[in-house]
């Protein structure tokens, strides 16, 4: 039963190390601030986190896709989340707004479906961002171009060329919920017990795609509420869904902005920009700024047109963005450290007084 939800031997090992007698395993199906819906071996339970959990200094809310240990409340279909199993992957972004904080969009995913629509939403610069986050997540990227019924052969070729430039070797699927193009093939990508998350802007057809893959109308989509002025963002929470052939999907609400998060040791930028970084190693000087130095391989490539200016500018911009987030994170850690010492010294002083 748990196997159908993506349980594997690695989780089993972690579980064996941590399990306690009254704990039941489950996977988070939906997550809001206060509640988690958890699919356990004994059914779907509404679960909360005990306060002691959230007061822990390194506390992080569990996310959709997390495997958790639940303690059932006696006689109820509710429980307390006692433990979150170590994640095998996590897709993270910088939370929208000014706060320096990570937001886990989905945990324990095998595939990241990077969804853009063929008509209005296609944007390689955004794709670059999603790719960096995907390489950092530990999931495999799959590019999904929806609404293929709204473009023609030359439109497709143009998009394929642009994608080749930023995501060479990443699988690309043109899909349409209207004509059914590639729906079957995409469903085969999500093999039984594997999890794929649909990531992308609002309105690109993610929920409709889930319905196509499910062969039902489970997910609410924009069309249903087209006459409802508030109905623009129909998917309001992330949700884990089981496919009839055994795969698992996570539908997510659209992300209006996608700011990067860095985990310090992140290599996503390098993995997404192997072309640029390979050039940099060929510059004559190790500390080349790629501006006026002689023997600069980057400048040469830009002049020859083998590297486009847009791509290079994007690399520089994303690198700065990541460095900024890292600096902010360091500052935040330092502040937390200072606060900790303040509290400790206060306690010590008080002890001496008493």
> Under the rule (CB under 6 A), what is the footprint of ligand GDP?
146-147, 149-150, 176-178, 202-208, 221-223, 234-235, 254
Helices (H), ranges, the chain: 9-18, 51-54, 124-137, 153-166, 183-189, 206-214, 268-272, 274-281, 297-304, 309-353
Give the position of tokens 């390689």.
Answer: 124
CB of 186 closer than 8 Å to CB of 243: no
Task: Give the rounded distance of the alpha carbon of 61 from its chain centre.
Answer: 15
Contact string 284-303 vs Zn ion (x = CB under 5 A): ----x-x-----x-x-----
Residue 30 engages Mg ion in binding (rule: CB under 5 A): no
Q: Looking at the DSSP assignment, which residues form a beta bridge with residue 83?
A: 69
CB of 260 closer than 8 Å to CB of 132: yes
Nearer to ligand GDP, 222 or 259 (CB): 222
Looking at 33-41, 69-77, 156-164, 235-243, which segment touches Mg ion (CB under 5 A)? 235-243
Nearer to Zn ion, 106 or 298 (CB): 298
Whole-angstrom distance, CA of residue 222 vs CA of residue 204: 10
Q: Which residues contact 196 (CB under 8 A, 6 or more apart)?
A: 109, 110, 111, 112, 113, 142, 189, 190, 247, 248, 249, 250
Which one of residues 235, 272, 314, 329 is an interface residue with Mg ion (CB under 5 A)?
A: 235
Q: How far is the CB of 46 from ligand GDP (least distance, A)?
A: 25
Residue 279 engages Zn ion in binding (rule: CB under 5 A): no
Residue 307 engages Zn ion in binding (rule: CB under 5 A): no
Looking at 22-30, 167-175, 206-214, 284-292, which segment touches Mg ion (CB under 5 A)? 206-214
Nearer to ligand GDP, 127 or 288 (CB): 127
Site residues, Mg ion (CB under 5 A):
206-207, 235
Site residues, Zn ion (CB under 5 A):
283, 288, 290, 296, 298
């Amino acid at each position: 039963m748990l196997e159908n939800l993506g349980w594997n031997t690695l989780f089993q090992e972690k579980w064996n190390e941590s399990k306690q007698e009254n704990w039941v395993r489950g996977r988070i199906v939906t997550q809001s601030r206060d509640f988690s819906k958890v699919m356990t071996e004994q059914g779907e339970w509404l679960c909360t986190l005990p306060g002691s959990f959230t007061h822990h200094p390194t506390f992080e809310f569990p996310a959709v896709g997390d495997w958790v240990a639940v303690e059932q409340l006696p006689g109820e279909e509710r429980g307390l989340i006692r433990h979150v199993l170590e994640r095998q992957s996590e897709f993270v972004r910088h939370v929208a707004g000014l706060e320096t904080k990570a937001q886990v969009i989905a945990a324990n995913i095998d595939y990241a479906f990077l969804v853009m629509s063929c008509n209005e939403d296609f944007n390689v610069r955004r794709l670059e961002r999603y790719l960096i986050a995907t390489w950092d997540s530990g999931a495999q990227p799959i590019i999904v171009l929806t609404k293929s019924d709204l473009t023609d052969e030359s439109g497709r070729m143009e998009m394929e060329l642009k994608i080749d430039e930023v995501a060479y070797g990443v699988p690309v699927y043109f899909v349409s919920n209207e004509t059914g193009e590639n729906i079957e093939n995409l469903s085969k990508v999500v093999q039984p017990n594997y999890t794929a998350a649909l990531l992308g802007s609002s309105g690109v057809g993610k929920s409709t795609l889930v319905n196509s893959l499910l062969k039902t109308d489970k997910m609410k989509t924009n069309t249903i509420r087209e006459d409802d002025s508030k109905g623009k963002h129909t998917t309001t929470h992330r949700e884990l869904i089981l496919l009839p052939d055994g795969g698992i999907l996570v539908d997510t609400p659209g992300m209006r902005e996608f700011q990067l998060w860095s985990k310090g040791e992140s290599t996503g930028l390098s993995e997404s920009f192997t072309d640029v970084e390979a050039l940099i190693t060929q510059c004559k000087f190790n500390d080349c700024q790629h501006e006026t130095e002689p023997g600069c391989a980057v400048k040469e490539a830009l002049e020859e047109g083998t590297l486009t200016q847009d791509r290079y500018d994007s690399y520089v911009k994303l690198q700065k963005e990541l460095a900024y987030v890292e600096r902010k994170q360091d500052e935040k850690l330092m502040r937390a450290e200072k606060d900790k010492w303040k509290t400790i010294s206060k306690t010590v002083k008080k002890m001496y007084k008493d």
